[in-house]
Amino acid sequence: MTEQATELLIGLNQAQQDAVTTTEGPVLVVAGPGSGKTRVLTHRIAYLIREQGVSPDQILAVTFTNKAAREMRDRVDNLVPHSAANGLVMGTFHSLGVRILRQNPGLVSEHLNLLPNFVIYDSGDQQELVKRAIIAANLDPKQLQPRRMQARISAAKSVLQTPDEFASTVETYDDELVLRIYREYERGLRNANAVDFDDLLGLPIRLFDMVPTLLERYQQRFRYIMVDEYQDTNRVQYVIVSALAAYYRNLFVVGDPDQSIYAWRHADIRNILDFEKDYPDAKQIHLELNYRSTKRIVQAADRVIRENEQRIERTIRTENEEGELISLRELPDQNAEASFIVNEIRRLMTSQGYRGDDIAIMYRTTAQSRVLEESFRVSDVPYRIVGGLRFYERKEVKDLLAVLRLLHNSYDRMAFERVIDNLPLGHGFGPKAMEAVQDWAQEQHSTAIDACIATVPSINADPDQSKPSLSAPARRAAEKIGAVFARLRVSAETSTLAELFDDIIEQTGYRDLFADGTEEDLQRWANIQELRSDLEQYDFMEPGKALGAWLEQVALVADVDNMAEDARGQVTLITLHSAKGLEFPVVFIAGVEDGLLPISRAVEAEPFDPAPMEEERRLFYVGITRAKKLLYLTFAGNRLSYGRYQMGVRSRFLESIPADAVRSVTRHGFRGGGADRMAGKKSGSLASRVTGDWIASSERVVTVPPPPSLPLPDYAVGQHVFHPKFGEGTIDEVIARNDDQELAVTFTRHGKKRLMASLARLDVLGES
DNA sequence: TTTATCCCTATTTTT
DNA sequence: TAGGGATAAA
């Protein structure tokens, strides 16, 4: 072995070295959390390039997120100097799928009936399209729940069933309905010259079936294939991998069955469990030594995951130090939970030397992030939220995105309707006009946008030219739309994306929607500016090409992908699902309650199907194993959901964590929602003792020195108050809640709101 | 055609 | 609680 080779292996344990140097043939690496699998993958790629002289463009590495791909590429670049890694193909399955489709526009239009400028529908568009498909199939969207239908269609697609193939599996009446909707849905997609996420995986396979030489080309090209997070691949992804790897058989997959958390997205755990059946000559390597977490954290995780029945028996271990006890805290409600977390973080930052970006808060449902965010907002601790409402799914962003999409692909019906419904440009253009325009488009084999353009006299002077039949006011609206889009089309061909964007905002009247200058408007306007600077990144490209490239990138980014590498001291708020693959010195898991973690559906399903419950447990396991040094688990005795308080019960998963690993903290005495305000008095003061401290079972917990906070005034009906967000208002009602007050306030600008006095930060302006 | 108001239902996770 | 959809009124 050369010196360079040994250099690449320095610091790797034996198993890791095996994984790096076994380059030929099928290899399965079962990698526990924190066992250095990313290191193995990057070093292996570097090893192939540097030691085996493999050309980077013969290597394909598939990751779960674009972010993971990017990080891996950076790390490989550091290991392989002088850009020797250029040409490496790295990305998600979905981006690989698009890549294949985009590289073969001729075959795609010949065999798949798609124009080269096809667009990718996101889940929102899909949902809407499904709803239309239900209506088109003469069914009732209220009875059939578009969500569920979409899930059924997606399930069919993820096992590569076309509507015709699905038809042969129909058993129940419900299946029958799904089939009808599925057919309409496919038709809608193709009419809009669009594909959905599942198509990005399925269509390449269909293309390979129809054009075997195409598959051969890719098989020859990708001599070494690596797949990360293999436990979360589904059937289609499995087929893609098997097809591509069939020639060279140099397939290297890494995964951990215990971290499989995407069965609901049709991930099929059999892919990893049956790997050795598929490749009897496969070498199996286990990475079990954890380099990430303290002994206590690793042991707790091990105890938790052990309870699962459907599992290959194994143990994770670590040689790291014992570490701190795990903190377990019950709080009265979700507000107290949130402020406890914020206060504790503040303490860690001020007296323990942690930085904000060392810390993450994880939760099961995105809804939980709101309360947490509220608490951060009123604190001085910087934070960022990953997941939840994604940037590109915000209303104002989607509205403008729709214009861009429509300019790129005028068949995009969903985009057209969105423009009509949401932009001032669409005013006066109602359902009747919409129908007329769609009919015309159908007849003329044209598009709705061109129907509008056809009504513009200055563009279309020919009186014999057919035009959509519209009432006078509708015609005026259509003319305006047509004129604006005709201009924008020119702009799209000649200007940079940022200039085009400015034109759009001006000409569609979108700017006028933000003239009020309320705080919400400002935020939304800021989002629009952010969108604009996103577009600026593509200014280097040719005007005609940039739009397509940018739209593609938008469709495929996940929220984690946008997580800045340098978090600039911000605390991360993230769902447990999105947290997979990440690590933080300090982790809080919030809402560790039955009904939330495990989620209620899993609890209900358990008697007849234990699988969802096991997946919940794995999710908890994933969360625990993100923590390097400190782990906090919190749950609330009462939690607001559906607008009412529900009793919370500590999660059954907590029973598996040994008591001596936990600083179990129970509440002493009674204190309501204003707990933190009371704790706000100097620690050790009479007040804090009287109202009760947190008492640990195994050790005394020092009360957190809390943030300075002012005592709240007593609010009364009729007072004029000022709110930082809602402005001026009058108090209508005051309800005592423990030692807090719930206020009903009518604001001049924002109408009636109900607020908790402790959070609202109201200033009293005077009595009325 | 647009806007206001009321009622209903739904929260799991995401490429 | 909020967001969507239906209904009524202007």
- Please report the pLDDT score of residue A2 as a whole number: 56
- Please report the pLDDT score of residue A477 as a whole number: 86
Q: Which residues of chain A are modeled with pLDDT < 50?
A: 668-711, 738
CB A75: neighbour CB atoms within 10 A?
18
Closest-lying nucleotide for A197 based on CA to C1' = B15
The C-alpha atoms of residue A723 and residue A727 are separated, in whole angstroms, by: 5
Helix or strand holding residue A295 (H, E): helix A295-306
Chain centre distance of CA A490: 35
CA angle, corner A765, sides to A761 and A768, nearest 5?
Answer: 125
Collect all residues with Cβ–Cβ distance below 8 Å to A375 and sequence separation of at least 6.
A335, A338, A339, A341, A342
Strand B contact with A265 (CB < 7 A): yes
Collect all residues with Cβ–Cβ distance below 8 Å to A126 and sequence separation of at least 6.
A150, A196, A197
Name the pairing type of β-strands A326-333 and A662-667: parallel
Closest-lying nucleotide for A596 based on CA to C1' = B12
Residue recorded with tokens 């039949």? A469
Helix (H, G, I), strand (E, B) or coil at A540: coil
The C1' atom of B1 and the CA atom of A523 lie apart, in whole Å, by 30
A386: DSSP letter: E
- Please report the pLDDT score of residue A463 as a whole number: 63
With both helix axes pointing from N to C terminus, report the angle between A123-136 and A413-422 in degrees, rounded to the nearest 10.
100
The C1' atom of B7 and the CA atom of A142 lie apart, in whole Å, by 14
Is the link from the previous residue into A598 a cis peptide, with omega within 30 of 0?
A: yes
Q: What b-and-e string marks burial along A459-487, b requiring 16 or more CB atoms within 10 Å of the CB?
A: ebeeeeeebbebeeebbebbbbbbbbbbe
- Please report the pLDDT score of residue A157 as a whole number: 94
Closest-lying nucleotide for A429 based on CA to C1' = B1
Size of chain A, expressed as the number of residues it contains = 768
- In degrees and rounded to multiples of 5, residue A286 shows phi and psi of -110, 130
Q: Which of residues 642-671 of A touch strand C (CB under 7 A)?
A: 642-644
The C1' atom of C3 and the CA atom of A61 lie apart, in whole Å, by 41
Strand C contact with A131 (CB < 7 A): yes
Contact indicator for A227, A62 with CB cutoff of 8 Å:
yes
Assigned token pair, A761: 């930060």
Strand C contact with A142 (CB < 7 A): yes
Assigned token pair, A66: 């674009």
Strand C contact with A689 (CB < 7 A): no
Chain centre distance of CA A668: 39
- At A358, the amino acid letter reads D
Residues of A identified as active-site = 37-38, 228-229, 259, 626
CA angle, corner A250, sides to A247 and A252, nearest 5?
Answer: 135
Strand B contact with A62 (CB < 7 A): no
CB A412: neighbour CB atoms within 10 A?
27
The C-alpha atoms of residue A470 and residue A468 are separated, in whole angstroms, by: 6
- Please report the pLDDT score of residue A670 as a whole number: 30
Q: Which residue is nearest to nucleotide B9 (CA to C1')?
A: A642
Strand B contact with A475 (CB < 7 A): no
CA-only gyration radius of chain A, Å: 29
Q: Which of residues 564-623 of A touch strand B (CB under 7 A)?
A: 575, 577-578, 599, 601-602, 612
The C-alpha atoms of residue A520 and residue A726 are separated, in whole angstroms, by: 10
Rounded to whole angstroms, what are the CA distances from A507 to A418, A450, A514? Answer: 16, 18, 14
Strand C contact with A82 (CB < 7 A): no
The C-alpha atoms of residue A297 and residue A299 are separated, in whole angstroms, by: 5
With both helix axes pointing from N to C terminus, report the angle between A123-136 and A173-191 in degrees, rounded to the nearest 10.
120
> Can you name the residues that pair with A644 across neighbouring β-strands?
A641
With both helix axes pointing from N to C terminus, report the angle between A543-556 and A497-507 in degrees, rounded to the nearest 10.
80
Contact indicator for A257, A231 with CB cutoff of 8 Å:
yes
The C-alpha atoms of residue A144 and residue A149 are separated, in whole angstroms, by: 7
Q: What b-and-e string marks burial along A291-303, b requiring 16 or more CB atoms within 10 Å of the CB?
A: ebbbbbbbbbbbb
Q: Which of residues 359-398 of A touch strand B (CB under 7 A)?
A: 364-367, 387, 390
Nucleotides of C under 7 A from a protein CB: 1-2, 5-6
Contact indicator for A724, A378 with CB cutoff of 8 Å:
no
